[in-house]
Amino acid sequence: MRIAVVALGKIGLPLAVQFADSGHDVIGVDVNQRTVDTVNAGVEPFPGEAQLQVKLAELVPAGRLRATTSYSEAIPGADVVVVVVPLFVDDATWEPDFAWMDAATRSIAEHLTPGTLVSYETTLPVGTTRSRWKPLLESGSGLVEGRDFHAVFSPERVLTGRVFADLRKYPKLVGALSPEGAAQAVAFYEAVLQFDQRDDLARPNGVWDLGSAEAAEMAKLAETTYRDVNIGLANQYALFAAEHGIDVYQVIEACNSQPYSHIHRPGIAVGGHCIPVYPRLYLSTDPGADIVRSARLLNASMPSRLVEQAAGLLGSLQGLRAVVLGAAYRGAVKETAFSGVFPTVAALREQGAEVRVHDPLFGDDELRALGLEPYRLGDEVDLAVLHTDHAEYRVLRPADLPGLRLLVDGRNTTDPAEWTGIPRLVVGAG
């Protein structure tokens, strides 16, 4: 097959590589010329994705994968177009911002040829494939969906850093606007993906047709929103436990010892491209989902809650030297999308603290480019707030933070035995 992948980001590029590695001819489209040039040189444009560099170095010289900025070069004659363009959410209104995806869809439509399957993998509000992409594709191409081409939705279910492993591990969900579109989508993904055997599933691991685009759209939102709501519940328990001298981690361990409880861990922040964003996409079509809204608001409030607790313990943060440990939204991933570091730094500054940030994955210039002042372990500091569960912080010791008066461990990562004599605040630890 000839496959076009639109947007070569941290998901799109590994997908393009996966398709090419499965024996197909792949061309990627990206608006960033530097990304295109880097890919065409057989070099990964971002670090940290397992196996990506090795596969690029094989596939690009072999002519199985190339990149371009031109839709007119990539789309005409493609058997399949896979769309992984980012969808943003307005921070103030929580409404989806379709600008980039609209532009990409119009460009696809302008060059769309009969017989193409267009598969959207970007997470969407329920109903978007049918009510937004189908009309845009039809009006821009003059073709008719269901007759001349097919539009389907098939969400990505992978995490950066382990995309290739996750593609094998989890069923590939598809939802179409017609039975013919569904059949084409199933055949396509069966031709480009390979799956691990899993005995824990109700049906064999592989491509699962959910019967409609709406069902597939909802499945992606539901599985991610579940995690945000679960973390919100864990944070609610943690706040209550702290007020009553209870160790919430023991409580959660006890609850999860039977098979019907799956309580997640509390923490200072929920970051990344998915968990903080997709509940808001869900709310855009189900505004009455109060449980979703409450969890999202509670999770978003955790940085300021912990900073306020720190201020209460120290009396005031005015003029104190504070460090936030970790800029990345999760451990071992060099990514700051919706990272809790930003609201944590803002909350500390509002309390009058002088704030710096440390992260073993980011250089000083990279932190400054994010608007963060870098900190070096060993510098004098009054307050430390551990935001990211990097492995390096598990072995953090008081000598690394001389002068420290309070450690706020927002991930329960540090070893309490190593911090005797220094107050240590852990959410939900009593």
Q: Which of 34, 33, 35 is nearest to 13 (CA)?
A: 35
Q: Which of 111, 69, 392, 130 is nearest to 120 (CA)?
A: 130
Q: How far apart are CA 133 and CA 26, in angstroms?
A: 23
Backbone angles phi, psi at 293, to 5 degrees: -65, -45
Contact 173, 208 (CB under 8 A): yes
CA dihedral over 236, 238, 243, 249, signed as positive or negative? positive
Active site residue 220: yes
Question: For residue 331, what are the CA distances in angstroms to 92, 162, 263, 334, 375?
Answer: 28, 13, 20, 8, 18
- Exposed, middle or buried: residue 15 (CB in 10 Å: 0-12, 13-18, 19+)? buried
Contact 5, 26 (CB under 8 A): yes
Q: Element (H or E) spanning 425, and its range? A: strand 424-426
Q: How far apart are CA 360 and CA 393, in angstroms?
A: 9
Q: Determine the 3-state secondary structure of 392 from DSSP.
A: helix
Q: How far apart are CA 216 and CA 210, in angstroms?
A: 6
Catalytic residue chosen out of the listed positions 10, 55, 172, 274:
274
Q: Which of 193, 196, 123, 131 is nearest to 154 (CA)?
A: 123
Query: Tokens 């994705």 — which residue?
Result: 49
Catalytic residue chosen out of the listed positions 10, 220, 255, 334:
220
Residues with a catalytic annotation lie at 220, 274
